[in-house]
Amino acid sequence: MPEVLQPARLEFTPEGTPRSAAYGDVYHSIHGGLAQARHVFIAGNDLPQRWQNRDRFVILETGFGLGLNFLATWQTWRDNPQACRRLHFISFEKHPFSAADLAHAQAAWPELAELATELRAAWPPLIPGIHRLLLAGGRLILTLVFGDAMQRLRTIDAAVDAFYLDGFSPARNPELWTPETCRALARLAAPGATLATWSVAGHLRDALAAVEFDLEKRPGFAVKRQMLHGRFRSRRPSRHTPPTERRALIIGAGIAGSTAAHRLASAGWQVTVLEANAAAGDGASGNLAGVLRPLPSADDNRLSRLTRAGFLATRALLQTLPDARWSPCGVLHLGRDAEHEAQQLKAVAALGWPEDVLRYVSAEQASALLGWPVSTGGWHFPGGGWVQPPSLCRAVLAAAEGIELRLNSPVARLKATADGWAAIGPDGAALAEAPVAIMASGVAAPQFEQFGWMPQRIARGQVSHIPAIQALPLQTVVCKYGYAAPVVDGFQLAGATLQYHDDDCSVRDIDHWDNLARLALMLPNSTAPIDPAGLGGRTGFRPMSPDRLPIVGAVPIANGSSTLPPANTRLPPLPRHRGLWCLQGYGARGIVWSALMADLLLSRLEGEPLPVETDLVDALDPGRFLIRPARRTAGGEG
């Protein structure tokens, strides 16, 4: 069963200190929460000295609570002229607060008001999993992990420089202070990592000492006589080293390549994007509009978790891009029949997501939302909508410095060099060179030698454009056997067909018939006056992976794969091309995948904390297709 969050309820002691009724404990010292955060956690980890003149620094906190430790750390980092270039802050919370409750509690610290306001503006819906918030212009990365810390710690991949061990009292919340938790923290510790906590309990000291932390007691805060400081003595080499040079070339300026270029450039990379067409987003990303929504399941399978994370990441990105065209008009996904509708209702009940993300609506409610009678209800995503992919491509490429876009620049092959990779044009000349090359060319990728083994299929899809004068008065996107959107630029979109082994790029009347038939099944009696022969449209070719998940990661060298062991919980070691990465297989969900996959790519290139759980990283890795096919199922399509 999927984990369902139980949000915290804000309460106060008679003295005005925030407390938890669930744990019978206060969120911070009654003698001053901000002063406690500075003394115990910031000074207790020898900050800001330890992050000064560093490229990056990573902090992990075991309980986010009201966000006070985070806000105090942010303020200290912001005000330190020698602070690290990028600060990562990872924090776990089993019972997160709503943004409204945070606003109420955080009003007690007016000197943090500006930072607290920015935090709440980016606050995610209360849904289990990893939520990545980019703050302070993207230099401060807050990774919120909603769920049980003991379970979730196992899913994190990071190299942590400082630990804030802050939870409710060990007597009231013992699972957060166990030897298992300490072992999980040690697994994430970078060389020389420190820890700090207000607790000096003997069983905690024993557990930390057993996992190679050298401990000392220091003066505590206010009336508490002592606190604990620790330093990780293990000198194991770090697996998360940052790159020595930040230059990359990207093949393809569709939605995958454009969002990746934006994410890398925003982090200080110099990026050259090579696009064969005359405009960015002119291939599979060239549709007038596409659908943005997650795809839930009652068991919250990998596809459900990834589309949810991708949906939220894309929405967050769009809200920073005033030139990207999109509308959060909502998406209604109708049940195909009564049985499917029952499955949708079951998923809503099992997941327990907030209603502003997902709710079930009856046939009557769906009819009212659509302004058209329908026979089934289904999922309603109030925050979903439509996005115009070419405008998103243009907006992200223009929004970050450090991107050189070269249009009309087809790449014929990739050539390994002493320092990285060269993109070679049809005439044999080198178009660009960089230590890192990223393949994001969609259906063209298997034509390259290094990607010929990739089991990516090409799917032809045609969308029909219905003139506004004949369009339905839809105010929301509707999906069932296909989809239809509100009018965009004078046309209503209906689609889309799906054909394999079909390379016809023309717009065909027979496919208009198909799309209208799908529309009539969704919205009965809606297509009678429409003549398919009079419709325009667009044909595109989508890169589909066998399991319908993206193909993202370092590119394996495909030889001798028949001797590889069967799949386990983690991928076996595979030889990889040095500096060669891919963003492929987005299929019909490029809008949903784009921002999240770009963040994952950057995080892996930089050796930074990852934005998704480790099992999902493996589920996306191109190496999954070189092991025996034990893990190729992503879950049902819903």
Tell me, yes or no, whether 518 and 553 share the same domain.
no
Identify the band that residue 563 occupies on the pLDDT scale cut at 50, 70 and 90. Answer: very low
**pLDDT-derived band of residue 631, with 50, 70 and 90 as boundaries?**
very low
For residues 146 and 129, give the distance between their C-alpha atoms in angstroms, rounded to a whole number: 5
Residue 173 has a pLDDT of: 74
- 306-315, 334-343, 406-415, 560-569: the lowest-pLDDT one: 560-569
- Under the banding of pLDDT at 50, 70 and 90, the label for residue 29 is low
Please name the residues in contact with 459: beta carbons below 8 A apart, sequence gap of 6 or more: 498, 499, 500, 541, 542, 543, 544, 587, 588
Do 184 and 264 fall within a single domain?
no
Pairing state of beta strands 483-484 and 491-495? antiparallel
pLDDT given at position 568: 40
d(CA 436, CA 627) in angstroms, rounded, equals 25
CATH number of domain containing 266: 3.50.50.60
The arithmetic mean of pLDDT across residues 124-150, rounded, is: 96
pLDDT of residue 637: 37
Same domain assignment for residues 467 and 604: no
pLDDT of residue 356: 95
Give residue 172's pLDDT: 72
- The 3-state DSSP class for residue 521 equals helix
105 located within any domain? yes
**For 93-114, what is each residue's pLDDT tens digit?**
999 999 999 999 999 999 999 9
For residue 638, tell me if it sits in a domain.
no
Q: Which of 167-176, 245-254, 491-500 has the lowest mean pLDDT?
A: 167-176
Q: Mean pLDDT score of the chain, rounded to an integer? A: 92
Cβ-contact 59, 159 below 8 angstroms = no
Strands 247-251 and 270-274: parallel
Mean pLDDT across 5-30 = 79
Tell whether the model's pLDDT for residue 33 goes beyond 90. no
Mean pLDDT of 24-53: 88
Q: Model confidence at 608, in pLDDT bands (50, 70, 90)?
A: very high
The tokens for 634 are: 């992503």
Average pLDDT for 339-359? 96
Peptide bond into 294 cis (omega under 30): no
Residue 277: partners with Cβ closer than 8 Å, 6 or more residues away: 253, 283, 407, 408
The pLDDT assigned to 236 comes to 81
pLDDT digits (tens, 9 = 90+) for 282-308: 888 889 999 999 999 999 999 999 999
Question: Are 74 and 46 contacting, i.e. CB atoms less than 8 angstroms apart?
Answer: no
Residue 632 — very low, low, confident or very high, per pLDDT cuts 50/70/90? Answer: very low
In a domain, 347, yes or no: no
Residue 378 lies in a domain: no
- Of 192, 209, 232, the position where a domain reaches its end is 232
Tell me: do 160 and 105 sit in the same domain. yes
Stretch 122-132: mean pLDDT, rounded?
97
Instruction: Examine the domain organization and report whether 137 and 279 are in the same domain.
Output: no
What's the pLDDT score for residue 73? 98
d(CA 203, CA 207): 6
Are 227 and 78 within one domain? Answer: yes
Q: What is the pLDDT of residues 458-493, one digit of tens each?
A: 999 999 999 999 999 999 999 999 999 999 999 999
Q: Are 226 and 215 in contact (CB under 8 A)?
A: no
Residue carrying the six token digits 């998406």: 331
Last-in-domain residue among 164, 199, 232? 232
DSSP class of residue 275? -
Structurally, the chain folds into a number of domains equal to 3
d(C-alpha 78, C-alpha 64), whole Å: 20
pTM value > 0.85: yes
What pLDDT is stored for residue 566 in this prediction? Answer: 43
Please write the tens of the pLDDT for every residue from 198-228.
999 999 999 999 999 999 999 999 878 899 9
> Same structural domain for residues 40 and 108?
yes
Q: What is the pLDDT of residues 247-288, one digit of tens each?
A: 999 999 999 999 999 999 999 999 999 999 999 998 888 899
Say yes or no: 103 and 134 in one domain: yes
More confident residue, 402 or 3: 402
Mean pLDDT computed over 511-528:
94
Note whether residue 379 is domain-resident: no
Is the pLDDT reported for residue 558 higher than 60? yes
Confidence (pLDDT) at 636: 38
Tell which wins on pLDDT, 28 or 428: 428
| 167-192 average pLDDT score | 86
Confidence of residue 572 (pLDDT cuts 50, 70, 90): confident
pLDDT category at 633 given cuts 50, 70, 90 is: very low
Q: 549: closest CA among 302, 207, 199, 222?
A: 302
The closest alpha carbon to 129, from 353, 358, 292, belongs to 353
> Within a 10 A sphere around the Cβ of 249, how many other Cβ atoms?
27
Q: Please say if the pLDDT value at position 638 is more than 70.
A: no
Per-residue model confidence (pLDDT) at position 629: 55
Instruction: For residues 482 and 618, state if they share a domain.
Output: no
pLDDT for the residue numbered 567: 39
Final residue of a structural domain among 201, 232, 263: 232
| CATH label of the domain that carries residue 29 | 3.40.50.150
Q: Name the band, by pLDDT with cuts 50, 70 and 90, for residue 555.
A: very high
Please state the rounded mean pLDDT for residues 529-542. Answer: 93
Same domain, 523 and 445: no
Cβ distance 276 to 448 under 8 Å?
Answer: no
Domain annotation covers residue 395: yes
Mean pLDDT of 132-154: 95
What Å distances lie between residue 494 and 15, 104, 382, 389, 529, CA to CA? 60, 45, 20, 16, 15
β partners of residue 464: 494, 537
Q: Examine the domain organization and report whether 519 and 551 are in the same domain.
A: no
- Does a structural domain hold residue 300? no
Predicted local confidence at residue 560, as pLDDT: 47
Domain that holds residue 208: 11-232
Residues above pLDDT 70, as percent of the chain: 95
Tokens of 205: 């000291």
Structure letter (DSSP) for residue 165: -
Sequence-ordered strand ranges (E) for 501-604:
536-544, 551-556, 576-584
Whole-number Å distance between alpha carbons of 460 and 497: 7
Residues 6+ apart with CB under 8 A from 15: 30
66 shares a domain with 140: yes
Residue 602 lies in a domain: yes
